[in-house]
Amino acid sequence: MYSNKHKKIVVKIGTSSLTHENGKLDIEAIEKLVRQITNIRNAGIDISLVSSGAVGAGMTRLHLNHRPTSIREKQAVAAVGQGILMHIYEKLFSEYGLSVAQILLTRDDLSIRKRCVNFINTMSKLFEYGVVPIINENDTVATEELMLKFGDNDTLSAMVASLIGADLLVILSDIDGLYDKDPHVYDDARLIPLVENITEDIQITAGDAVSGYGTGGMRTKLTAARIATASGVSMIIANSRADMVLSRIVSGESIGTFFKPSAHKLNSKGIWLAFGSLSSGKIFIDEGAKDAIINNGKSLLACGIKYVEGDFDAGDTVTVYDEQGREVARGIVNFSACDVKKIMGCSSEKIEEILGSKSCDEVIHRDNMVKTC
């Protein structure tokens, strides 16, 4: 079903796979994971781990019986737990002769192009040194209010896999893969072994269930699959508790649900625009402009714009929507929101007359835009 000739792999493991039912760390499960990753690394494959578990580790040390709910509590517990988690990984990997590196990221780190490039370069050098990078969201400083959270490590792992050019993303969870209905509710739920396209029907099959100590459900895993496959990265969802699951996947055994990568993958700039950058505003376009962008690969001109939301400047990333509110594209805008409002619906020839000057005809040039629908 998929190639076993991998060169670069990202593995994501969730909190529920690293902890017991009481929320405390499952050292035996972590040790098994480390042993498999070490064997893969020793085979000459670059491999990185996106690991949850900082809050769970903090809960263990602080003797908490329930996962904290407020942002302040979560950040404090994560601050305690992250060091504990890394100490465990460092100790276990060192027993097998491997070094690890800790990388903590916020959404902002990948939304700013320069920081994103620095992250990619750092990862490349770590692989060159034979190090296993261990990545987590920097929960201590990331908040939803500041728009700096990925929200879950499923999304983070997909962005990491896409940006570093991995050929496989493995999401290890407490479920065997994607089912046609929620297996926790329906006894006749059937595993879907292969997903070639993430359709609306596939989206509907994803439930909202989350584990007691985790933050992501199947919907977040489908979001991750969208990011990964659009970037040309294969993705597998598999059960972390399956015997030697990583080793079997790397050897080519069909396990869990395999998401086939797109044949028309995005380039590095397109990946950053579509998934890394933060949108500063919204531009709504008519059907003619939508057709020009989607089917003909054209730039966005002022004449096709219906209205604008947000306060953005020239050079910011904005999201383009059709008149029904469906996302069409994302791109770097050449005009401020104020100027776009003045020229929307007008032909390019009238821009200079309206604004007093004109640096370009396109509101968003096609080279700075990526389709997202």
| The model's pTM | 0.83
Residue that is last in its domain, among 251, 270, 289: 270
Q: Is the domain of 215 the same as that of 111?
A: yes
Dist. CA 119–CA 61, nearest whole Å: 31
Nearest one of 138, 137, 214 to 173, comparing CA atoms: 214
* CA pair distance 34, 49, nearest whole angstrom: 10
56 is in an annotated binding site: no
Express each pLDDT in 30-41 by its tens digit. Answer: 999 999 999 999
pLDDT tens track for 291-312: 999 999 999 999 999 999 999 9
Select from 211, 240, 270 the last residue of a domain.
Answer: 270
Is 291 labelled a binding residue? no
Q: Is 177 left (phi over 0), alpha (psi -120 to 50) or beta?
A: left
For residue 342, is it within any domain? yes
- Let me know if residue 3 belongs to a domain: no
What pLDDT does 153 receive? Answer: 87
Q: Helices H, strands E: what count in the chain?
A: 14, 15
Q: Is 366 annotated as a binding residue?
A: no
Query: What is the predicted pLDDT for the residue at 151?
Result: 55
Domain check: are 183 and 311 in the same one?
no
Q: Is 280 within 8 Å of 111 (Cβ atoms)?
A: no
Q: What is the CATH number of the domain that holds 299?
A: 2.30.130.10
Q: Would you tell me how many other CB atoms lie within 10 Å of the CB of residue 200?
A: 6
Retrieve residue 364's tokens.
Answer: 């968003």
13 and 149, same domain (yes or no): yes
Q: How many domains does the chain have?
A: 2
* Residue where one domain finishes, among candidates 201, 236, 270: 270
pLDDT (0 to 100) of residue 143: 53
| Rounded average pLDDT per 10-residue block, the chain, 373 residues | 75 89 85 96 96 87 84 88 94 97 89 88 96 88 50 86 95 90 82 88 63 57 91 95 94 94 83 84 96 94 96 94 94 95 95 92 94 82
Close Cβ partners of 38 (under 8 Å, ≥ 6 residues apart): 93, 96, 97, 98
Predicted pLDDT of residue 212: 38
Question: What range does the domain containing 14 cover?
Answer: 8-270
Q: Is 221 annotated as a binding residue?
A: yes
Annotated binding-site residue? 12: yes
Q: Is 174 annotated as a binding residue?
A: yes
Pairing between β-strand 234-239 and β-strand 100-105 as defined by DSSP bridges: unpaired
219 is in an annotated binding site: yes
Q: Which of 223, 144, 212, 151 is closest to 184 using CA atoms? A: 212
Domain assignment present for residue 357? The answer is: yes
Is residue 285 domain-shared with residue 178, that is, in the same domain?
A: no
Closest by CA position to 134, among listed 110, 99, 168, 169: 99
In the beta sheet, which residues pair with residue 281?
Answer: 310
